[in-house]
Structure 1
Amino acid sequence: MPRMDGRKLIARLRAERPDLPVVVMTGFPPPDGAGALHGGKAPLRLLTKPIEIARLVAELRAVAGLN
């Protein structure tokens, strides 16, 4: 993203909605893993590209509470 990295985006979104579930898709995960991005109580999933569609759907369903 040209103006903001994922960590800043998650922080901004969660400042407005701390309960917002987040699914992050990245080609370059942070060395600390999902813990480096979490910053809240709502679910956060970190997926590393390439991602199979079935896994993406499963993770989206999980953070949405649909499993």
Structure 2
Amino acid sequence: MSPEDQAALAQHSREIAKILHRNSPPEAVDTLEGIETTVRQQMLEHVSPEVGIFLSKRAPKPNGDAPGS
């Protein structure tokens, strides 16, 4: 990954974190366990589906391990 892409990813990740924090119940982020649980739930519910949709739009490249390769 290029340094520019790494910087952009870090910046966007911080923005995502701000949005998720803003939309978390205050009591959910009072403890390390609460933060971990809340982050995991929000990532699975909001972030992962968006990344999955983006990646699924790209045709998979065949690899040497697939049957018939």
TM-score (norm 1): 0.31
Instruction: Between the two structures, name the one with larger relative contact order (CA 8 Å, sep ≥ 6).
Output: 1
Q: Greater strand share, 1 or 2?
A: 1
Q: Greater helix share, 1 or 2?
A: 2
Task: Give the number of the structure whose alpha-carbon radius of gyration is greater.
Answer: 2
